[in-house]
Chain A
Amino acid sequence: MSYQEKKHITSIFTSLLFTVTYCMYIFQQYQNGTLDKIDSLSYWAYTVIIILSVKIGFNILVQIIFSIFHSLLSKEKQPNLVDELDNLIELKSLKYAFITFMLGFLMAMLSAANGMPMYVMFNLLILSFFAAEIVGPSSQVYYYRKGI
């Protein structure tokens, strides 16, 4: 397995872990009835900013730890060359991640248009971001394995 594949698989697991943790937290809040009480737009906006910032920071941290462990365990140097194949695969995966997020965004807007509670819209937005973070690296792994 190549360095890129390992890197993207690590990224998928990080995103899955984050998504599961978030879903568990939200489900707990839903069961407690806390979600229905929150009706402030600024609260949800603040939550989205915090979650996205933490997720990005966590991703960077995991990638640094992965690079260190990878160089220690495999004695293999991290490739510092990004060639046309890498760029092409990245573009394709970005497209799929973008489509995933757009579908989530559309669902969130539909939920708001149908008069659903505010937390449904914001959670759909957050979850579509997480889904895009899973779809992107997954399609990269797929293209590295199958080819273009």
Chain B
Amino acid sequence: MSEYTLINNVRKFRFNCNEMTQQELASKAQVSRQTIVAIEKGKYSPSLELAFKIAQVFNAPLEEVFSYVIHDT
């Protein structure tokens, strides 16, 4: 049986953007810092719109920031 997981590289991208803070990213993506924390920890899968917004902040393609991985269980 296959299981799908949403993997994100938000932390890595923040680090590459001169250690952008979670609050800065949250302001740019027009969400609360708590939402960014939840996304980074993998506790929340963002909507497609928010995922695009975050990717735009990093000026990177969506699939580099978020990826959908299949695990075989």
Where the two chains meet, the residues of A that have a C-beta atom closer than 8 Å to any C-beta of B are 2, 4, 79, 81, 83-86, 144, 146-148
Q: Which of B32, B43, B45, B50 interacts with A146 by CB under 8 Å?
A: B43
Specify which chain A residues have a CB less than 8 angstroms from the CB of B34 in the assembled complex: 2, 4, 85, 144
| Apart from A85-B44, A86-B32, A146-B43: 19 A-B pairs, beta carbons within 8 A | A81-B30, A81-B31, A83-B30, A83-B31, A83-B32, A84-B31, A84-B46, A84-B50, A85-B31, A85-B34, A85-B35, A144-B34, A147-B38, A147-B41, A147-B42, A147-B43, A148-B38, A148-B43, A148-B44
Chain B residues whose C-beta falls within 8 Å of the C-beta of A146 in the assembled complex? 43
B16 at the interface (CB under 8 A from A): no
Number of cross-chain contacts by CB at 8 Å: 34
- Cα distance A2–B47 when bound, in Å? 22
**A residues near B41, Cβ cutoff 8 Å:** 147
Question: Contact residues of B with A, CB < 8 Å?
Answer: 30-32, 34-35, 38, 41-47, 50
**Contact yes or no, A81 B32, CB < 8 A:** yes
Tell me the complex Cα distance, A138–B52, Å: 32
Residue of A nearest to B27 (CB): A81
Chain A residues near B50: list those with CB within 8 A. Answer: 84
Which residues on the B side are within 8 Å of A2 (C-beta)?
Answer: 34
User: Would you give the shortest CB distance from B61 to chain A, in whole angstroms?
Assistant: 22
| Nearest B residue to A82, CB-CB | B32
